[in-house]
Structure 1
């Protein structure tokens, strides 16, 4: 089997899986989780590193979504570390005829709006008001929240959130109020 044929089969599996993810309001999937799932479901496996092939597969997915008139399902695929879309998300923008966004937070703002479009199209559990866009400043992935064991140590960690004096050009990180579940988030918003 050729790599191109494998990519096509994986793209079909990925489309189905991403449509399933979009059925749950505010759900996302990591690149690694998606890769594992589509290889398992297709019974086509590779030892090639994920970052060397997943972008091509997601490129096929975003073009197919555009062809069908669906929102860019690739907005639901995020990094494990920060819960944000990767640089390859620019293909979703170019496919839609928009200018690619290089700045990660701007790219994530676009992806958050696209996620809301996905939930509005596919989700069965969408709130009656039509839902709200996930907050990209925290990353929309559930793992972006502070673990409970760190929540009590937040006052001691505040000094880590301020940039050094020679980094004044960087945006200052702020803390916010704890969410309803009682856990504080370390990096909840970026202030200018």
Structure 2
């Protein structure tokens, strides 16, 4: 089977697997776990290292989500250290958005949008970072968190293009900057 044919099968399986992942609040999957899962679901296997082909699959999924107006399911796929992948940066490129200063927080909001879209009950507040990222930041952000205002909204509105929380005006400053 050609790589092109295999990549189509894997991308379909990856979209399905990530959509299923989004049905559980706080769920995510590592690149290695997703690679194994898509090979199992599609019945198409490779001995090539995951790093040589999985980014292409995640980019296909990102394009599909972007074209369909879906939240970026690729935000649910993280590296082994639980950080956002380069494929998540591609989501921003597709939307013609700059890479934010804190990509992990941006990806957390995108995961939140995925959960809400796929029927998960999303609690009010700030979306959680992945466990390993949160653990690394725990020491440095404990003081900041104590000073941060409490969000009392029952549901935050997110920009449908970049998945950043919208201000009270409902107009995204990134996607629709004031002229």
Q: TM-score under structure 2 normalisation?
A: 0.71
Q: Distance in 2 between matches of 1:67 and 1:86?
A: 20
Q: What is aligned with 1:99?
A: 98
Residues 24-67 of structure 1, C-alpha deviation per residue, up to 9 Å, x if partnerless? 11110011110000001111001111111000000000010011
Given the alignment, which residue of 108, 112, 121 partners 2:117? 121
CA spacing shift, 1:187–1:36, aligned 2, 3 Å: same
Q: Distance in 2 between matches of 1:123 and 1:59?
A: 24
Structure 2, unpaired ranges of 5+:
145-179
RMSD across aligned C-alpha pairs, in angstroms?
2.3
Q: Distance in 1 between matches of 2:137 and 2:84?
A: 17
Q: Distance in 1 between matches of 2:94 and 2:109?
A: 16
Q: What is aligned with 1:54?
A: 54
Residues 73-120 of structure 1, C-alpha deviation per residue, up to 9 Å, x if partnerless? 00000112x21112232111111221235x6xx221211111111111
Q: What is aligned with 2:21?
A: 21
Q: TM-score under structure 1 normalisation?
A: 0.67
Aligned residue runs from structure 1 range 4-83, under 5 A: 4-80=4-80, 82-83=81-82
Q: Which runs of 4+ in 1 moved over 6 A?
A: none
Larger radius of gyration: 1
Q: What is aligned with 2:171?
A: none
